[in-house]
Amino acid sequence: MLPVLSHRRRSIPVNLARSQEPGLSKSWGQPRNATNTCFQNKSPTKREYPMDFSAFITDFFVWQGSIFKGNIFLIGNPQSDLPPYTEANVCHGGGPLLIHTVGPGENLYAISRRYGVSIDDTQRANLLPNPGQLIIGQSIVIPITAQSHTVRPGDTLFTLSQRYGVTPEALAQANNIPVTAPLIPGTVLRIPQRERTPIEVNAYLEIMGERGRQITRDVGFFLTYMSFFSYQVRANGDLVPINDQTVINEALNQRVAPLMVITNFAEGTFSSEIARAVFTDQTAQNRLFDNIESTLRTKGYRGLNIDFEYIFPEDRELYNQFLRRVVARFRPQGYLLCTAVAPKTSGTQTGTLYEAHDYPVHGQLMDFVILMTYEWGWSGGPPLAVAPVPQVRQVLDYATTVIPANKIMMGMPLYGYDWVLPYVPGGQWARSISPQEAIRLALRYNAAIQYDPRSQAPFFNYYDEQGREHIVWFEDARSAQAKFDLVKAYNLRGVSYWVLGGDFPQNWILLADNFTIRKIV
């Protein structure tokens, strides 16, 4: 499992202190699927499955032989000795994953027949231990791979567009019929392949060494950049080194551009004083730049990711000047430059986390800007979704007015939190939890997973062995898709994940189904 967090936005395996409350207050502080599945054979062996979800998928879906309401199931292979994702084993079909919620009286046979897929394919797609045990409210994935559809009574271009993830106009054009034409049962329609939007994808990695190399190998197919967290800046301009050469080499092997991350992080928190020191002491700043340049050159980094947080509000212009000097020093050398910024909803938003992050200046100077759109629900605060869509949308509404959309990377979490109830301010902090662990918890405690339509995030309650009530907010295929839809709606450059290391296979498959990932290496 992931460790307990105290950082305002990140599930990182160190104890980070938080100095301010997060959320919507002015001092908010530290805060699908798979591509369409391609079944080449009716009874595939482990080497014939199109995807490698590895062994954790079995735990995701199966716990003590039971299936519970609210689960979303995706195709997977319960084997762990398969190769990493590649273009050859990520299949792209004619439409998105279809998620079906089980209703009263439904069974696997009726559901499979309804969508024109075989029971075997549906069972394999969901790793159902007992096809006869379906529960009302349970969501199962329908592995639709067809490039054609036989019209049934009640079908319309609109309903088919919803099923296959294409527009009614695209369906009409592909079949040379008017978009308003009624459909005749028995007619075979061609389903056009859905276009995938090209984007860039960044992900942060804290785990170094062999484990970090394996993570990089496993998900490198989906990434444009990998940001290695982090080189901590000291007041005199020194950098605290990290053991990153192994993961840098693997990133390059996977055609992922490694980015060096520098932070004003020290002794468990972000230091306003360290930031001020390197902004104002020219000797320290020159020393810092020399150290950065040496590291970039000798380690093989392709760019610099600046993550300075909790800067004194009055140091806003000092930070802007610092960034201008970074650009003057490193852009002529061909390095990519980006910053990570707090999720602001206006240019006048107050609070130490926000005020020194000048969106217009960052947008003008940087190659791209990472919006840290997560941690509304955080380990030290009340139970909330980590990245509720309405709040993320508010940040994007402002950001896109002052930063070019093609420079914005929207932050996405790969984690959730497990709170003990009742929540008491200053009491026990929530522990961070991966989406896979959340599902295992729900299965273990027979908890029904619910979905909040406003925040567009899943949650559930359970009682532990001590009789304490818990609430878990996490991410799933639906919440990931809701965020991908924002990327398309705002025409953003891409997404940035915090943080690699927890299991969330649906995210990666959905990502590949929605987008084409640009590679620059």
Exposed/middle/buried for 42, CB within 10 Å: 0-12, 13-18, 19+?
exposed
200 flagged as catalytic? no
Inter-CA distances, 254 with 26, 226, 487, 521, Å = 41, 11, 24, 9
Give CA–CA dist 164/300, Å, rounded.
43
Q: Between 505-514 and 435-444, two packed helices, what is the crossing angle to 10 degrees?
A: 130
Residue 469: half-sphere exposure toward Cβ, Cα within 13 Å: 7
Conformation bin of residue 380: beta by default, left when phi > 0, alpha when psi is -120 to 50? alpha
Exposed/middle/buried for 434, CB within 10 Å: 0-12, 13-18, 19+?
buried
Give CA–CA dist 318/158, Å, rounded.
54
- 380 near 15, Cβ under 8 Å? no
Catalytic residue among 21, 206, 250, 309: 309
Strand partners, 204: 227
Give CA–CA dist 287/309, Å, rounded.
21
- 239 near 231, Cβ under 8 Å? yes
- The residue type found at 467 is G
Catalytic residue positions, numbered: 309
